[in-house]
Chains A and B, each alone.
Chain A
Amino acid sequence: MTENASVVAIAEPSRVQVSQIDKQLKTIWSSQEGATRASTFNLLVYESELQDPNSIGEAIGAIAVQHPCRAIALLASTDGPKDNLEAYVAAYCPVSEGGGRESICCEYITLRASGKALDELDTTAAALLLPELETFLWWKGPLNIHLELFTNLQHIVDRTVVDSSLFEEPEKALESYTSLALGQEKNRSFGDLNWSRLTPWREETAVAFDSESRAACLGALDRVIIEYGQSEGIPLNPCQAYLFLGWLASRLGWQPLSLHNKDLTKQIIMRDSTQRPIQVTVRAVAGEAHLAGQITSVGLRSEEMGAACSTVLCSSDSSSCIRMQMNMGEATLSLVSDIDTLTTEQLLSEALRTPDRDPIYEESLEVIHDLMQLK
């Protein structure tokens, strides 16, 4: 983390007793002339040690540059004694453009736990939160392991951010996740980095139907094909494709009626408010590893209105651009636009921008939730 160019450590991580964490942080601050402690929120980050051990640190470094915060890493340790808890504290300051250290810095606490101590980590974390600030949880991992900690943490956080591209047994995980997210109290919200990755696809799809003549197509669409990448050795993950479908369906008032699985293809029938059926195919297509789980193309058509409505969006071989082909009256308009491949830190920072609930996201989850009941 110290080699991360954008932050400097004003104190390297040191191991402390859990009860001494606050005291140790005070010592760090008082040794620093001119470093201001500012906080915009508390950030809890869960990660299992099975994952890349450096990546939390780097991500928090990147977050610290943008938002001064108290960050608490919750590490699920797999080795070491059973029911064990260790704590470390450190502080980092962003480096300003000129190379100098900024005066507003980020505190960084690591709690590394195993067994029962891990399941009950929420109470330890609760005591370490700065008062009266929003608390975010970034759950960096699948949902099926340590689900107890995940559920327990819900009591102390305002917003939980997951990454459904990391879900194992994706459909099962989606089912429990949507139930949990939709059943929350009003003042808690959920986010998904995989949803943020969809933004360019949503924007591009919206562009295709902005013109008044094409807006009419939306009511006539009856065929949707969503393809997502699949790569050998990487488990299949259709979450992003489902999110896109959930979004499209909720915007257009479609309800799922049936879902059939055949090999790598899902055939779904939906129905709009006039009972008109819409046939949806979600399928995995072989591609490169970096596209695994990512949408690679979306096709929207209307049998009724023929070519006038057909729209195809696809990412070309690189994941950095979307090609759109749509028919406008007589002419076919083809448009290539770039998408920035956002890093996890950028996605996270986007997901942390507001603690508010996102109704569009939740309505998409509702469709997915209904769809998962049809499995």
Chain B
Amino acid sequence: MTASLTGRLSANPLRQGLRLERTPKPAILTIFGASGDLTVRKLIPALYDLARDRRLPPEFTVVGYARRPYSHEEFRNMMKEGVAKYSRSKLGNLWESFSKGIYYFQGDLDNLQNFKDLGEFLKTLDSERGTLGNRAFYMATAPSFFAPIIENLGAAGLAGDVRNTRLVIEKPFGHDLRSAQDLNKVVQQVFHEKQVYRIDHYLGKETVQNILVFRFANSIWEPLWNNRYVDHVQITVAETVGVENRGPYYDEAGGALRDMIQNHLVQLLALTAMEPPSAFEADTVRDEKVKVLRAIQVGQGPNGLEAVRAQYTNGWISGEPVPAYRDEPRVNPDVQTASYIAAKFMINNWRWNGVPFFLRTGKRLAKRVSEIALQFREVPHLLFPSSSAGQLNPNMLVLRIQPDEGISLRFEAKRPVADIAMRSVNMDFHYGGTFEVASPEAYERLLLDFLLGDQTLFTRADEVEAAWKIVTPLIERWEIQKAGNLNYYDAGSWGPSAASKLMDNGRRWRRL
């Protein structure tokens, strides 16, 4: 029997027709940085939910790795609290058997001997738990540890091969193009690309995957999806929360540009603009994403790059006063970090030449909402005299991602009066109203795909580099040359007024 991590397309005839025709192979998942926030809040609750849905093999085993001197039992109890608080399903009878598969290993991420000992420990677990030498490693640590962990895994002989070992890398992957390339080099010295899963948890959201289904499972949009019919595209990811306790981390990570634009918004942009892949498979999908990413550039206006950055001052949200960014806990009072970015991007290819894509994201904005809006061109010839028709509104197709997932289409209709008077009508479709099922958390989906060996929703090496390349001019202008003013906006507003200057030709940001 050869150990292999590929999900088994079952030799087990009882699996036919069940929700999960493939189950992950028995394996040990080692989480580095397991005493941290991500593990207890997201990873273990997601794994528990998967186990409860009978999507994990009974042999599945987790080893938490960090420096604190926990016993297995102490670690299990911490995880139990996390599950009780954050998992979708209630803590039930399953916990007893599930928690028997959770272990803690005390070690330092910089210490090679600790990794060698970990290897021995994993071997012992193999025989106890029937995990057949299959290994998965998850780096849930500060990014500065990614390279040392990978090097130590390699040096300790734990990198295995494509059949039995995989690695998850949390975000952020690098802090600019150079560092991403350097990290990719480290990764590739030890692991094969097919073993590597770079997480962008946005891609795990059902709603984001729906963009692809909407585009490629319906034939009516494709003919419109180009510069002949689309005037421009707006992608908004607005949050109402502030930087909260993450101040120092957020500053160090470089604010909204690196935290949101480089990964999540650029991913949304790629999914909206990519060409249809020939199959829904990891490499065909990612090939198309890479192609479009390579064609994207920040807009260049007469005054340089067309992008605006800003930081929130104090204001009001939902009737509550909220502090300015610089008054948030643990934030340096004269820090230049941008909590808001708006920018115009152009795509240099046949489909999109001349169509601007406006992206904006910010914290402490008026509303929590994420959407992609395609505004169509006006009719070529206005048939109805504007006096009687009034102002014509262009057609708009909106893919709403959250909070109220759905699709809406705005078109003009005649008002029921004698004159030709028109009025815009919104036709709304809510996924929630139509297929209401509790959707799995993004991490659940990603962990399952990872354990099954499906890389489609993970970022490939060339993809992450292409995404960094897109934002490099902005990093250079704002962080290296320190040029470009930092604007300010009131918390609870829709961002700085400078952002509206990005919009030309009578375009305006959508009021959401």
Which A positions have Cβ atoms within 8 angstroms of B? Answer: 36, 38, 40, 65-68, 94, 96, 102-104, 199-200, 202-207, 209-213, 215, 218, 248, 251-252, 316, 320-321, 324, 328-329, 331, 333-338, 358-361
Contacts and interface: CB of A to CB of B under 8 A. Distances in A.
Q: Which of A94, A199, A204, A338 has the most CB of B within 10 A?
A: A338
Given A206-B14, A333-B58, A212 B1 contact: yes
Contact of B15 (A40, A66, A210, A321): A210
Contacts of A67: 434-435
B112 to A, nearest CB: 33
B14 A211 contact: no
A56 B19 CA distance: 28
A67 to B, nearest CB: 6
A102 B432 CA distance: 10
Interface in B128-182: 130
Given A68-B433, A251-B16, A333-B58, A211 B11 contact: no
B472 interface: no
A39 to B, nearest CB: 10
Contacts of A199: 18-19
Nearest to B11: A215
Contact of A252 (B13, B433, B436): B13
Interface string B26-40: 100000000000000
Interface stretch (B86-94, B306-314, B336-344, B481-489): B86-94
A337 B16 contact: no
A230 B415 CA distance: 65
B59 interface: yes
B358 to A, nearest CB: 29
A211 B94 contact: no
Contact of B12 (A104, A209, A321, A331): A209
Interface SS of chain A: mixed
B94 A104 contact: no
Given A68-B433, A335-B97, A205 B26 contact: no
A66 B435 contact: yes
B94 A336 contact: yes
Contacts of B10: 210
B58 to A, nearest CB: 5
A94 to B, nearest CB: 6
A209 B92 contact: no
A86 B326 CA distance: 70
A103 B428 contact: yes
Interface SS of chain B: loop
Q: Which of A68, A206, A320, A358 has the most CB of B within 10 A?
A: A206
Contact of A218 (B13, B52, B59, B96): B13
Contacts of A251: 13-14, 16
B48 to A, nearest CB: 11
B93 A337 contact: yes
Shortest Cβ-Cβ A-B pairs, 5 listed: A360-B17, A338-B92, A206-B14, A203-B54, A321-B93
Given A204-B54, A321-B92, A336 B433 contact: no
Contacts of A321: 92-94
Nearest to B1: A212
Contact of B18 (A40, A68, A206): A206
B8 interface: yes
Given A36-B428, A328-B130, A337-B52, 17 more contacts: A38-B433, A40-B434, A67-B435, A94-B433, A204-B54, A205-B14, A210-B15, A210-B23, A213-B1, A215-B12, A251-B14, A321-B94, A333-B59, A336-B93, A338-B92, A358-B17, A360-B17
Contacts of A335: 58, 97
A364 to B, nearest CB: 10
B94 A338 contact: yes
A335 B26 CA distance: 15
A116 B185 CA distance: 80
Nearest to A326: B58
Interface in B40-97: 51-52, 54, 57-59, 89, 92-94, 96-97
Interface in B368-411: none
